[in-house]
Amino acid sequence: MYACLVGKGITFDSGGYSIKQTAFMDSMKSDMGGAATVTGALAFAITRGLNKRVKLFLCCADNLISGNAFKLGDIITYRNGKKVEVMNTDAEGRLVLADGLIDASAQKPEMIIDAATLTGAAKTALG
């Protein structure tokens, strides 16, 4: 396996139980930019003659309030045994992206490339 491409694809993000303000929700159907980016990148590479094996992992979900939604304090156990406590249901992007990265890692590729719209986290990290 040459590479795995992993993209975050949140189809709609209300914030879950840590609900967003209405003014910030109208653009949350665009929270799938990472999945769109890696899909487009693979399509471009194929049209340019890519002759290596590449796997595409699209981490798609929505983040809504429902009886099945995760709640503050829930513990998520990933397939690799790592556990994460949910402290903010509006931080779902990194949770679904982690799932894809874990699956991609299991393929033992030469490289993994991921893409995601993690704007809140990026602002905090980079200022």
Catalytic residue positions, numbered: 20, 94
Q: What is the residue type of 58?
A: L
Q: Which of 113, 14, 11, 15 has the alpha carbon at shortest distance from 56?
A: 113
35 Cβ neighbours under 8 A, 6+ residues apart:
7, 8, 9, 58, 59, 60, 115
3-state helix, strand, coil in the chain (%, to 5): 35, 25, 40
Q: What is the residue type of 70?
A: F
Residue 121's SS3 state is: helix
Q: Which of 101, 115, 99, 104 has the alpha carbon at shortest distance from 31?
A: 115
